[in-house]
Amino acid sequence: MGSSLCVDDIAGMVQDERVHRDVYASPDVFELEMERIFGRTWLLLGHDSQIPKPGDYFTTQMGRQPVIAVRQNDGSVRVLFNRCAHRGPMLCSLLKGSVSEFICPYHGWVYGLDGKLTSVPMPAGYPPAQSPQANGLGMIPVPRLEVYRGFIFASLAATGQSLKTFLGPVISSIDDLVDRAPDGEVEIGGGIGRHVYNGNWKFMLENHLDGLHPRYVHASSVAAANEQDDARATDGAGEVAVRQMRQNGAPNDLWEKIGLWTAPNGHGFLADYHDDEKLVKLSDDPLHVEYRRRMEARYGAERTREILTIMRWNTIIFPNVSFMSQFGQLRILRPVSVDRSVVETYVFRLKGAPEEMFQLSIAFANIVNGAGSPVLTDDLEVYERMQTGLHTDGNPWIDYARGYGRDVDTGDGMRRGGSGTSEIAVRNQFAAWRDYMTAESVEDAGGTAQ
Amino acid sequence: MTEYRQDPAGINIRKIELFLIHEADLLDRRQYDEWLSLFADDCRYWIPLEENQKDGKNTISLVYDDRKLLETRVRRLGKDSMHAQAPHSRTLHVIGNLAVTDDAGTGLVTVRSNQIVTEYRLNAIRILAGQVTHRLQRSGDSFRIAYKQINLIDSEGEHRGIPIIL
Ligand code: FES
Ligand SMILES: [Fe+2]
Model ipTM value: 0.94
Mean pLDDT of A71-78: 98
Residue B60: predicted pLDDT: 97
Contacting A residues, span 307-346, partner chain B, CB-CB under 8 Å: 342, 345
Q: Which ligand is nearest to the CA of A247?
A: 2
pTM for the predicted model, two decimal places:
0.94
Q: Chain B partners of A242 at a C-beta cutoff of 8 Å?
A: 68-69, 72
Mean pLDDT of A140-154: 98
Residues A151-174: pLDDT tens digits?
999 999 999 999 999 999 999 999
> Does B94 fall in a domain?
yes
User: Could B158 and A342 be called an inter-chain contact, meaning their C-beta atoms sit closer than 8 Å?
Assistant: yes
Mean pLDDT of A273-294: 71
User: Could B56 and A382 be called an inter-chain contact, meaning their C-beta atoms sit closer than 8 Å?
Assistant: no
Pick from A381, A383, A384, A388 the residue to mutate for testing the B interface (most B CBs within 10 Å): A381
Residue A274: predicted pLDDT: 54
- CATH code (residue B105): 3.10.450.50
In contact, B28 and B91? CB cutoff 8 Å: yes
Mean pLDDT of A263-290: 75
A61 CA from centroid of ligand 2 (Å)? 26
User: Could A195 and B159 be called an inter-chain contact, meaning their C-beta atoms sit closer than 8 Å?
Assistant: yes
Residues A361-413: pLDDT tens digits?
999 999 999 999 999 999 999 999 999 999 899 899 999 999 999 999 998 88
Residue B3: predicted pLDDT: 42
Residue A27: predicted pLDDT: 97
In contact, A138 and A85? CB cutoff 8 Å: yes
Answer whether A86 contacts ligand 1 (Cβ < 6 A): yes
Q: Which ligand is nearest to the CA of A132?
A: 1
In contact, A316 and A209? CB cutoff 8 Å: yes
Q: Which chain A residue has its CA at the smallest distance from B49's CA?
A: A193
Q: How many domains does chain B have?
A: 1
Give the pairing of strands B39-48 and B142-152: parallel
Residues A252-267: pLDDT tens digits?
888 898 899 999 999 9
Residues A229-241: pLDDT tens digits?
999 999 988 999 9
Residue A450: predicted pLDDT: 44
A219 touches chain B (CB under 8 A): yes
Residue environment code for A354-363, b if the CB has 16+ CB neighbours within 10 A, otherwise e = beebbbbbbb
CATH number of A43-147: 2.102.10.10
Measured CA to CA, the distance from residue A56 to residue A357 in angstroms comes to: 27
Mean pLDDT by 10 residues, chain B (166 residues): 47 89 98 98 97 96 97 97 97 96 83 97 97 94 95 97 98
Among candidates A232, A347, A372 on the partner chain, residue whose Cβ is nearest the Cβ of B67: A232
In contact, A46 and A58? CB cutoff 8 Å: yes
Question: What is the distance, to the nearest Å, from the Cα of residue A89 to the centroid of all Cα atoms in its chain?
Answer: 28
The three-class DSSP label of residue B102 is strand
Answer whether A87 contacts ligand 1 (Cβ < 6 A): yes
What is the span of the domain harbouring residue B72?
13-152
**Which of A84, A93, A133 to mutate for ligand 1's pocket (most ligand atoms within 8 Å of CB)?**
A84
Among candidates B61, B67, B72 on the partner chain, residue whose Cβ is nearest the Cβ of A224: B72
A90 CA from centroid of ligand 1 (Å)? 9
- A340 has pLDDT over 90: yes
**Closest ligand 1 atom to A84 CA:** 2
Averaged pLDDT of chain A: 93
Residues A93-104: pLDDT tens digits?
999 999 999 999
Where are any strands of DSSP class E within A309-393? 312-317, 321-324, 329-337, 340-350
| A11 vs A444, higher pLDDT | A11
> Does B159 fall in a domain?
no
Residues A14-49: pLDDT tens digits?
998 999 999 999 999 999 999 999 999 999 999 999
Residue ranges per domain, chain A? Answer: 43-147, 164-444
Percent with pLDDT over 90 in chain A: 85
Answer whether A89 contacts ligand 1 (Cβ < 6 A): yes
> Does B165 fall in a domain?
no
Q: Residue type at A250?
A: A
- A326 has pLDDT over 90: no
Pairs of residues, one from chain A and one from chain B, whose beta carbons lie less than 8 Å apart: 151
**CATH match for A164-444 among 1.25.40.10, 1.10.10.10, 3.90.320.10, 3.90.380.10:** 3.90.380.10
Contacting B residues, span 55-84, partner chain A, CB-CB under 8 Å: 56-73, 75-76, 79, 81-84
Residue A356: predicted pLDDT: 95
